[in-house]
Amino acid sequence: MTQETLEFQAEVKQLLDLMVHSLYSHKDVFLRELISNASDALDKRRFASLTDASMATSEEFEIWIERDPEARTLTVRDNGIGMSAEEVRNNIGTIARSGTQEFLRRARELKSEHPDPELIGQFGVGFYSAFMVADRIELVTRKAGAEGATRWTSAGDGRYTIEDAERDGPGTTITLHLKPVDEEDGLQDYTQEWVIREIVTKFSDFVAYPIRMQVERVEPEKDADGKVVEGGTEIKRLETVTLNSMQAIWTRPADEVTEEEYKEFYKHISHDWTDPLLHLASKMEGTFEAKALLYVPARAPFDLYHPEMSRKGLQLYVKRIFVLDDCRDLMPNYLRFIKGVIDAEDLSLNVSREMLQENRQIRAIRKHLTKKVLEALNDLRKNDHEKYVSFWTQFGPVLKEGLVPWGDERQERVYDLMLCQTTDESAEWSSLEDYVGRMKEGQEAIYFITGPSKEAALHSPHLEAFREKGYEVLLLTDRVDEIWTQQPQEFQGKKFQSIGQGEVELGNEEEKKKTQEELEEKKKTYSELIEKIQSVLNERIKEVRLSARLTTSASCLVGEKGDLSPQLEAILRESGQEIPRVKRILELNPKHAVIARLQERFAANADDPAISEYAQLLYDQAVLAEGGELEDPAEFSRRVADLMAQAL
């Protein structure tokens, strides 16, 4: 291959731009990223050498750091798995993660007022972070098991060159041509021994391979007996030191590991730059033996809602040996945000991804860990409300996927973990337990309303009768709420009931009876008008009826029990499913002046064209009140304007 100059993929360019111009002052993290990549590459090669006879080697696996103060370069070298030319092009120069476009668009929008590091960390920029400290990077790599090597160079300016190269043995060497030192900007002198020592100890102490570096030692001159010669010349000598302790953090007694160490290990495996919210260590004994160190991140990754979300940082080890990253089978889908290490004693190193699904031990571990994670979250909920709310706002909607009946291992425990917004102003983010505790005498069900936002839900006319009776209603505004509430659900023996579906019957038996009687009475007066309205709106609605749930609004739309809600209909349609439009029920408030006048007008002249205009308006109003979109907004405004002209 002759030298080729190629353009970075547009997304990579944007990401580099975001980073190079970021005000992020903790630039030292670039070294953690490079060491983590080297460590990953060594994991892969070690694993291959143990499971594939053709890859066996007697080499010691290690990471080298070389400093050259004169040339102002810093080199990180590993003898890991390496990359083929094809892999270099695909891995470094392209980002193949779904949601990247969307993430970058958001990042650009927020750039001015949002701190960059949050965003950068959320994305996990890894290798590219080296461009924070280097103005040119050269990478030479050779894939284990292959012959030639590849050189990749770039100044981070949108292009890179790639060509054939030579390298002794497999692995990757990354040389950074460092930017000038600028302490104010967070750029230290990375050619200094102590600077590197400090960074490695802080960020990468537990890396499983020795991180080696040559250092200069100055010693006084000694005589043949080993005594220092007074006034003698100093002797400079090069010495190789290992910078890290290499202890796998999850094998150490929990009380000996500091919080700092836990945090840094999280960043190492997850490539997230923000401290985790929580860690938990767990040990399984008995039939299967395994140790796990799991983390709940503080912030949701940018691709949390993309079906192919990366689960990098959920790693499977077998007896301290790395086997697989991105190990989906270790956690149910609704806990897909959990990161960490699971180290099993009794698995074969040769276990493949496909085999894991069926593996009894993996299933037992997954069950055990699911329980542990849910327990830890429940403890957090009980003990640290503020922290739990911050967890819930990031991951609550994902956790609720555990309630979806056709999801994997439907998990009733999610009810205990749930926080909801409610119509009770004093209870922002209430648990279900607390809600049930506040239920009024005679309240039979857990009432909820779903909607696109808290505001929309709060303004819904469906709430009126509940407000009047003083019943608290849960405001469920996540997309997933539309789905899990479709099936009958129960918490502490109380049924969930949508206030936008079915008929409303509130209060004690006597009150219910009274409401029913009143409605029957009104029906006598209004039955013909109702028929008329029904005939006008026939195309769009299933039924017109008088309402027991409205007190101040004139009309609202409701579904029949078991109907898809309009939001769920929209979600399903968005996801490409063809579903027939669900016709809804228009409820009219017989106590409202508009309905009473309409009746008068209808009684005077059943063919009055105004009746039809008003019927359309009542329907459109009901659509607007629940935050829906009108089929024909222009027609609606014409009707309102006509009406105003008449009234004025």
**Chain mean position to CA 634:** 40
Give 83 or 318: the residue with its C-beta nearer to ligand ADP: 83
Span from 119-127, 238-246, 503-511, 553-561 in contact with ligand ADP (CB under 6 A): 119-127
Site string for ligand ADP, 166-195 (x = CB under 6 A): ------x-----------------------
- CB closer to ligand ADP, 84 vs 525: 84
On the CB side of 503, CA atoms within 13 Å amount to 11
C-beta of 156: minimal distance to ligand ADP in Å? 13
Q: Which helix (H) or strand (E) holds 197?
A: helix 193-204
Min dist CB 82 to ligand ADP, Å, is 6
Considering only the stretches 122-130, 147-155, 254-262, 492-500, report the one whose residues sit in contact with ligand ADP under the rule CB under 6 A: 122-130
Query: Is residue 152 helix, strand or coil?
Result: strand
What does the block give as tokens for 163? 């060509």
* Residue matched to tokens 């309102």: 640
Work out how close the CB of 336 gets to ligand ADP at its nearest, in angstroms, rounded to a whole number. 17
Span interacting with ligand ADP, options 5-13, 76-84, 98-106, 557-565, rule CB under 6 A: 76-84
99, 126, 210, 461: which one binds ligand ADP (CB under 6 A): 126
User: Which residues pair with residue 187 across a beta bridge?
Assistant: 182
**Using CA atoms, how far apart are residues 163 and 156, in angstroms rounded to an integer?**
17
Candidate list 57, 75, 91, 242; residue touching ligand ADP; CB under 6 A: 91
Residues 167, 149 contacting (CB under 8 angstroms): yes
Residues near 338 by beta carbon (within 8 Å), at least 6 away in sequence: 294, 295, 296, 314, 331, 373
Site for ligand ADP contains 137 (CB under 6 A): no
Q: Is 447 helix (H, G, I), strand (E, B) or coil?
A: strand
Q: Contacting ligand ADP (CB under 6 A), which of 92, 419, 537, 595?
A: 92
Residue 559 binding ligand ADP, by CB under 6 A: no
Which residue minimizes CB distance to ligand ADP?
A: 126
What dihedral do alpha carbons 160, 163, 167, 169 form, nearest 10°?
90
Angle, vertex CA 355, rays to CA 352 and CA 357, nearest 5: 120
Give 362: exposed, middle or buried? Use CB within 10 Å, 0-12, 13-18, 19+. Answer: buried
Q: Could you tell me the smallest distance in angstroms from the CB atom of residue 623 to ligand ADP?
A: 46
Cα separation of 579 and 585, whole Å? 18
| Interacting positions 242-301 with ligand ADP (CB under 6 A) | 271
Taking the complex as a whole, the smallest distance from the CB of residue 33 to ligand ADP amounts, in Å, to: 6
State the minimum distance, in angstroms, from the CB of residue 205 to ligand ADP.
19
Place of tokens 């990375």: 190
The least distance separating ligand ADP from the CB of residue 299, rounded to whole angstroms, comes to 16
Applying CB under 6 A, which of residues 127, 288, 429, 491 lies at the interface with ligand ADP? 127
Distance CA 69, CA 81 (A): 29
Nearer to ligand ADP, 130 or 456 (CB): 130
- Which residue has 């209909």 as its token pair? 569
Closer residue to ligand ADP, CB minimum distance, 84 or 534: 84
Under the criterion CB under 6 A, does residue 432 sit at the interface with ligand ADP? no
Judged by beta carbon, residue 38 or residue 293, the one nearer ligand ADP is 38
Least separation in angstroms between residue 283's CB and ligand ADP is 29
Nearer to ligand ADP, 127 or 288 (CB): 127
Q: Coil, helix or strand for 624?
A: helix
Please identify, among the stretches 124-132, 185-193, 366-374, 527-535, the one whose residues bind ligand ADP according to the rule CB under 6 A.
124-132
Instruction: Work out whether 313 is an interface residue with ligand ADP (CB under 6 A).
Output: no
Distance CA 91, CA 142 (A): 14
Q: Where are the beta strands (DSSP E) in 144-289?
A: 149-154, 159-165, 171-178, 211-219, 235-242, 278-284
Work out how close the CB of 155 gets to ligand ADP at its nearest, in angstroms, rounded to a whole number.
17
Residue nearer to ligand ADP on the CB measure, 91 or 247: 91
How far, in Å, CA of 488 to CA of 505, rounded? 18
- Piece of the chain touching ligand ADP by CB under 6 A; list 123-131, 176-184, 315-323, 457-465: 123-131
Nearest 10 degrees: CA dihedral of 511, 517, 519, 524?
-170
Helices and strands (H, E) in the chain, number of each type = 20, 23
Q: Tokens for 625?
A: 């009140």
Closest contact distance (angstroms) between CB of 71 and ligand ADP is 21
C-beta closer to ligand ADP: residue 61 or 602: 61
4, 165 contact by CB (below 8 A): no
Nearest to ligand ADP of 9, 489 (CB atom):
9
Please report whether residue 500 would count as binding ligand ADP according to CB under 6 A: no
Mask 10-49, x = binds ligand ADP (CB under 6 A)?
-----------------------x---xx--x--------
Decide: is 84 part of the binding site for ligand ADP (CB under 6 A): no
Nearer to ligand ADP, 79 or 553 (CB): 79
Cβ–Cβ under 8 Å, residues 210 and 246 = yes
Residue appearing with tokens 């990471």: 63
Query: Which helix (H) or strand (E) covers residue 58, if one does?
Result: none
Task: Give the interface segment with ligand ADP, choosing from 77-85, 206-214, 439-447, 514-522 (CB under 6 A).
Answer: 77-85
Query: CA nearest 178: which of 197, 157, 192?
Result: 192
From CA 190, how far away is CA 193, in angstroms rounded? 8
List residues near ligand ADP by CB under 6 A: 33, 37-38, 41, 78, 80-83, 91-92, 124, 126-128, 172, 271
